[in-house]
Structure 1
Amino acid sequence: MAYLPGLGRELMKAAAEAPFLERDEEKALAVAWRDHGDRRALHKLTAAHMRLVIALAAKFRHYGLPIADLVQEGHVGLLEAAARFAPERDVRFSTYATWWIRASIQDYVLRNWSIVRGGTSSSQKALFFNLRRLRARLARDPDAYGSGDAYQAIAKALGVSRADVEMMDSRLSGSDVSLNAQLVDDDSSGSAQRMDFLVDDHPLPDEAVQETMDSDRRARWLKDALAILSERELRIVQERRLTDNLVTLETLGDKLGISKERVRQIESRALIKLRKALSRMQDGEGTEESLPIA
């Protein structure tokens, strides 16, 4: 068994020296563990299959995860296989355990390969673990899955959508990058970080809520204050102050049949009344925000 960097030599040695089990001996150990909870039988059964765990874990080392952790997760799968194995069936334990070991390692890889979770469905898992292999095969033989779009060919082979293949390919093409990583690789503490370019100019949530509450309160105050004006004062204030297309004094005077100077006087008097009314409302609620009428 070849030595794997990052994996303890003692573990490698123990796995290499563990004796192979004959079919009858393997079955007897499985029965002793299942029916009698014999831990020595479990230890002997699993120790004899650690070579299998290490061999399967080595196939996933290119995902950048510690080989020792992969072997540990594979051992968890081996124990799960021992707990579920049916000795009376004419199946070797290694054949049955292979599925559980691989599944446990794959689950670990999916959980730890990236901080962004992915591959939750069986089809997505198949895509994650087979995309590199299929892409390499297409590079060697472009017509391996028929001519045409490579993404579409892989999608058809794995039974997923083309969009899923594109997304997974983009994820596998890059690694996680910290938003606090400096854009310039130096020791300067003032170097810009990626986070600096993701600043949101919108108000914070609490500020947005406060602004909404304040806007509602000001609208209520204005409505109540406008109620004290006469009909003509209200019309003048609305057309001179509360519309997008403001009307001139002269135009409004022509509509009301009065001079533009009289319109100005009525407007000035109405604004004084509004300011006083709004000031009383502010004092009643104990706030210091500015008046909505200039």
Structure 2
Amino acid sequence: MPHTDTPETQRANRRFMQRAMTVPLLDRETEFELARRWREDGDDQALHQLTCAYMRLVISLATRFRNYGLPYGDLVQEGNVGLMQAAARFEPERGVRFSTYATWWIRAAIQDYVLRNWSIVRTGTTAAHKSLFFNLRRLRALIDSGTRQTLRQEDRIFIAKRLGVGVDDVESMDARLMAGDRSLNAMLSDGTSDDNATEWQDMLPCDRPQPDEEVMEQHDGAYRSRWIAEALGKLNERELLIIRERRLRDEALTLETLGTQLGISKERVRQIEHLALKKMRTALLEKVPDPEAAGLLG
């Protein structure tokens, strides 16, 4: 949901921008000296002078993200966080100007803020999602000038190749950006009567089993467990061991491994397993006419 700055906030933002634009830029040597004093001596005054000189850079980058509906003052503050991070990590001996280095940190801080606050649902969780979030609208306009509501398959393929992401990611992000947040308590009817009032959450399907289905599954599960236990009781010790290791484990042992443990060939293990299953089937048929339909044997 878009946020709107109050008139007082807008005036404060303008005053801040005007002051920031009056601070002179620094030359390379001054940048180097201020960065050295801050890093080596912890000189707060040097840090203040270094960051104030490039506050206009924060303002410039924050302006590019105003169309996401977030308070401009918050964008600037997040950009200031990125500027401070850049000052803390800047290494002038590498020969890079501070403005060039700080641009990346400022943009990253603002983008992260936008992704965290554009929606109540976290939007960009991967590099592909972030790239799509900040570039999809631009590429949409390049393709159809915003005249179509949905993208065609060839459009998705074009965008996916342009950004180096998957076509499914393009489709998912496009749907996410085209539909804003909706409250689960939003009314679907006119709400003129309590009897007719229907909220959006009332129409959401529930994938969980119904209460009667849960009771039936518990009832049937108890019977199945008892029948299988009785069938296992028909096996001798070696047959029971093979069935447990081959059929009742998440990771079944191989015929060869069991043969080594029991001192027999893997073919003999296979034969014993077959005979044991036949015994169990016979025992289950005495209880259930169709064990496979009951989920007892596969």
Query: What residue is the counterpart of 1:99 in the other structure?
Result: 104
**Which residue does the alignment assign to 1:195?**
201
Superimposed CA distance per residue, residues 215-270 of structure 1 (whole angstroms, 9 cap, x where no aligned partner) = 55678999xxxxxxxxxxxxxxxxxxx989xxxxxxxxxxxxxxxxxxxxxxxxxx
- Give me the whole-angstrom Cα distance separating, in 2, the residues matched to 1:48 and 1:184: 56
Change (3 A) 1:220 1:51: closer
For residues 29 and 161 of structure 1, do their structure 2 counterparts lie closer, same or farther at Cα, with a shift above 3 Å needed? same
Could you tell me how far apart the structure 2 residues matched to 1:207 and 1:74 are? 54
Matching residue within 64, 78, 83 for 2:83:
78
Alpha-carbon displacement from aligned partner over 1:76-119 (angstroms, at most 9, x marks no partner): 11111101111223222111100011011111111222233233
Task: Using the TM superposition, give the Cα deviation of residue 35 of structure 1 relative to its aligned residue in structure 2, in angstroms.
Answer: 0.9
Cα offset for 1:13?
3.2
Tell me which residue corresponds to 2:131: 126
Query: Relative to 1, partners in 2 of residues 1:120 and 1:201: Cα closer, same or farther, differing over 3 Å?
Result: closer
Query: Superposition RMSD on alpha carbons, in Å?
Result: 3.5
- Bigger RCO of structures 1 and 2 (CA < 8 A, at least 6 apart): 2
Does structure 1 retain, via aligned residues, the 8 Å contact 2:59–2:76? yes
Tell me the CA shift for residue 194 of structure 1: 0.4
**Cα 1:187–1:99, aligned 2, differ >3 Å: closer, same or farther?**
farther
TM-score, normalised to structure 1, is: 0.63
Task: Write out aligned runs for 1:92-241 (5 A).
Answer: 92-139=97-144, 149-184=154-189, 191-198=197-204, 200=206, 208=214, 212-213=217-218
- Greater gyration radius: 1
Unmatched runs of 5 consecutive residues or more in structure 1: 141-147, 223-241, 245-294
Residue type matched to 1:15 in 2? A
Distance 1:162 1:204 in 2: 36
TM-score (norm 2): 0.63
Most deviating of 36-45 and 178-187: 178-187
Aligned residue for 2:93, secondary structure, equals: coil
Q: Which residue of structure 2 aligns with residue 47 of structure 1?
A: 52
Please report how far the alpha carbon of residue 59 of structure 1 lies from its aligned counterpart in structure 2 after TM superposition. Answer: 0.8
Aligned length: 220
Structure 2: 5+ residue stretches without partners: 1-5, 146-152, 228-287, 291-298
The whole-number CA distance in structure 1 between the counterparts of 2:40 and 2:74 is: 31
**Separation in 1, partners of 2:73, 2:57:** 14
